[in-house]
Structure 1
Amino acid sequence: MLPSIISRYIAGRFLFTILTIFLCCFLLVLLIDFVELIRRGGNKEQADTLSLFLMSLYRVPELTERILPFATLFGSIAAFLNLSRRLELVIVRAAGMSAWQFLTPALFVAAALGIFAFAVYNPASAFLKDKSLEIDARIFGASFSSSGQTASQGWVRQKGEDGDSILKALTSYDNGRKLGGVTVFSYDQLGNFVERIDGKAAELEEGYWRLSDVLVTSAKSAPRHFETYLVSTHLTPQEASETIANPESVPFWQLPHIIDQAARSGLPAYKYRLQYQTLLARPLLLAAMVLIAATVSLKVFRFGNVGKMILSGVLAGFVLYVVTELAKDLGNTGLVNPILSAWLPAIVASLLGFSILLYQEDG
């Protein structure tokens, strides 16, 4: 009974500390992002305070997904330090529990947070990000080039009944079927440049893009403004999802369907496979953060050097983040298998943390 009570107590302390740090980071990011939107949208007629706040509130969850591993690391360090400072770890050890026994509740909390992150939080953040991009396109459109919401990885070349065209958008939502801040360079059947088309928004329909609030510029005539303008395309919704949509904007539960569609269409789906595997590896990554925190926190108050040990934990977390991002870049290009890119950093970090703890506690 006693170990069960202690385990619940430790799990509660870890959960509270991690969520507190995550919430503080969430509110800080929300405040900074909202202030920046107010500054950039000050001269826009459609940019009322409520719309800007909702836009910021909707897109912050997607931004804070990247903060969760660091919140877990710092929250675990803080929890271990509090348990050590109040001599609770000493009491737990005196009661006969080993380090591995009181680490188990913390690892369980980290794994549960990782599962919740990809199963619930990620779909919710993807849905809210779509809402924020709709507000972004409505308020800022093509003129808001520094919104920070990149749609495609570059210019997309597409064929159509009227000839080829090259398209780029600042924002995308609805899996790439709706765009904001659109620029299109149109060519005729012989490959000669015809016109440049700048639209505030675009929506993919069968056989064409429907652009709204459009400025058309060509060498043969003065710039013309149209409320609606059509650009022919053979791009299908599946191809738009793969070539235009940002994989981070796709909910976790839709990723297998998009990957399957891309495979049947003969399109590469490296970035979607990597995103799917990265989310699946999130519980192990968070558990690795707990192990890293334990290696630098368990013996702090017995041997001193508090600041040095905490700094080493922060540096270890930063190095893990850099390695994870490097592996992600390699996986996005197809140079490394997406499964290997997503899982290897978390596995290596977990094994290193486990080995160090094994040496410290039992060596």
Structure 2
Amino acid sequence: MQLDFFPSRALTVYLAKLFVVRILAVLVMLVLVLLMLDLLTTTGKILAVPGNGQSEIWTYATLRAPQLVARFLPYSVLLATIITLVTLNQNSEVIAMKAAGLSAHQVLAPLLLTALIVGVGSFAFNERVVTRATATLKAWDANEFRQVPADSGVRSNVFIADGPDILSAASVSGQGDDTVLTGVSWYHRAPSGALSDQVRGDRATWTGDGWRIENPRRFDVATAKSDSPESLVIGRGVTPEQIRLGSIDPDAQSFWELSRSIDDYEVAGRRTAELRSKWWHKLAGPLSSVLMPLLGAVAAFGLARSGQLFVRAVIGMALGFAYFVVDNAALAMGNFGGYPPLLAAWAPFVLFALIGETVLIRTEE
């Protein structure tokens, strides 16, 4: 196999341009279609809140679009790979390149380099845009699309155990003694383990010895009666530090922020397998774009007139989508401790890189 992977600058630029244009076209198409479908199901919830209007719908769209871009960029690279290589094959351009002495790896090298640049750009985009949009959107959604407190550290959907009791909050803002919980629920259990009573409130603040709920609404399970006491303090064993550790969302934190959160968890003696799996996947996820030209390479070769071009394209697409299925399954296994975090994030990448390289060498080299 020749080691000069870019023997022609003109050919490298030509293939890279073809590939980039198709990646952008497929990505824009996917994001627009999926965003419109998402808006069809969410617009009603947004407009149901008094005061919300068209500006809030646009806000939702601008927050949701980066998530869709991050999630479907690797799919776009896969589909763009298939489209690009099938087009080159049908126009006999692959045959011309191989007749000029280029190996299969040299034909794919410009696409792999482009995919690597896309992967690095995807990582930067996730760090600077997607994590912030995710944190804001989750907090807004948890607050049922009502106005979210103006705080850059808003977190959502927090569940903390205080012995047999459970404290939950739809969103958390502030830090330390200034921590504020909104959408609060308190589940108190009797010594027997059965649910004794439930308390709900719109807002709770730290008093130094528990959380004071504003406008509490209490329901007694035994008597099936409810009341509204003027003042109620709950969760005396739950501190703001526990709230901070319990409100960590890996998808809403950048790579370096998540590193610090993992260190805090380890100091507190808490389990970090799920966070470490997501931490490693912040690197492996964007780099999955590099695999797509390799997995879709089977569509580039073989005679277009042989009738096998469609079959080859389907095989390339099947290999690409099989990677995403295995990747999600491995990440799920890593989240609950079935796989070590490093293995959960990188095993699918390495496995399918070997599969793609094997198929390419056995069929074309």
TM-score normalised to structure 1 length: 0.81
Which among 260, 263, 271 is matched to residue 260 of structure 1?
263
Cα separation, partners in 2 of 1:299 and 1:172, compared to 1, 3 Å: farther
Report SS of the residue matched to 1:185.
strand
Structure 1 residues 209-218 or 127-136, which shifts more?
A: 209-218
For residue 27 of structure 1, report the CA deviation from its aligned partner. Answer: 1.6
Match of 1:40 in 2: 45
- CA pair 14-171 structure 1, distance change in 2 beyond 3 A: farther
Larger CA deviation: 187-196 vs 115-124 = 187-196
**In structure 1, what is the equivalent of residue 340 of structure 2?**
337
1:303 to 296, 302, 306: 306
Render the CA deviation track for 1:220-244: whole Å, top value 9, x for unaligned. Answer: 7634388x97543544566445544
Q: SS in structure 2 opposite 1:336?
A: coil
Q: Secondary structure at 2:8's aligned position in 1? A: helix
One-letter amino acid of the structure 1 residue matched with residue 161 of structure 2:
R
Secondary structure of 2:101's aligned partner: coil
Give the match for residue 127 of structure 1.
Answer: 132
Bigger shift: residues 62-71 or 28-37: 62-71
Between 257-266 and 64-73, report the one with greater CA deviation.
64-73
The question of whether the paired residues in 2 share the 8 Å contact of 1:54 and 1:132 is answered with no
How far off its partner does 1:58 sit?
0.6
Please identify, of 237-246 and 86-95, the stretch whose mean Cα deviation from structure 2 is larger.
237-246
Query: CA-to-partner distance for each residue in 1:6-50, whole Å, 9 max, x for gaps?
Result: 112212221221222122212222211222112334433243232
Question: Aligned pair in 2 of structure 1 residues 183, 302: CA closer, same or farther (>3 Å)?
Answer: farther
Distance in structure 1 (CA, Å) of the matches to 2:85 and 2:252: 35
- Residue 166 (structure 2) aligns with: 166
Higher alpha-carbon deviation: 206-215 or 275-284: 206-215
Opposite residue 226 of structure 2, the aligned amino acid is A
Could you tell me which runs of 5 or more consecutive residues in structure 2 were left unpaired when the two chains were aligned: 1-5, 147-154
Number of residue pairs matched?
347
**Structure 2 CA distance for aligned equivalents of residues 305 and 64 of structure 1:** 32
Tell me the SS of whatever aligns to 1:281: helix
Aligned-pair identity in percent equals 24
Secondary structure of residue in 2 paired with 1:217: strand
SS in 2 for 1:222: strand
- The 3 A distance-change label for structure 1 pair 54 and 208 is farther
For 2:333, the aligned partner's letter is: L
Alignment-mate amino acid for residue 184 of structure 1: W
- Say if 1:31 and 1:189 are closer, same or farther in 2 by CA, change over 3 A: same
Deviates more, 1:46-55 or 1:123-132: 46-55
1:1-363 mapped onto 2 (5 Å cutoff): 3-140=8-145, 151=157, 156-158=160-162, 165-169=165-169, 181-186=183-188, 195-200=197-202, 208-209=210-211, 215-218=217-220, 222-224=226-228, 231-235=234-238, 239-299=242-302, 301-362=304-365
CA 104–2 in structure 1, closer or farther in 2 if over 3 Å, else same: closer
Rounded Cα–Cα distance in structure 1 between residues aligned with 2:53 and 2:259 = 38
Q: 5+ unaligned residues in a row in structure 1: which ranges?
A: 142-148
Distance 1:204 1:114 in 2: 43
Q: Deviations over 1:311-348 (max 9, x none)?
A: 22232223222211221111111121100011010101
2:3 counterpart residue number? none
- Of 82-91 and 346-355, the range deviating more from structure 2: 82-91
Q: Distance in 2 between matches of 1:299 and 1:357?
A: 12
SS of 1:334's partner is coil
1:8 partner amino acid: V
Against the structure 1 CA distance between its residues 178 and 254, is the aligned structure 2 distance closer, same or farther, given a 3 Å change threshold? Answer: farther
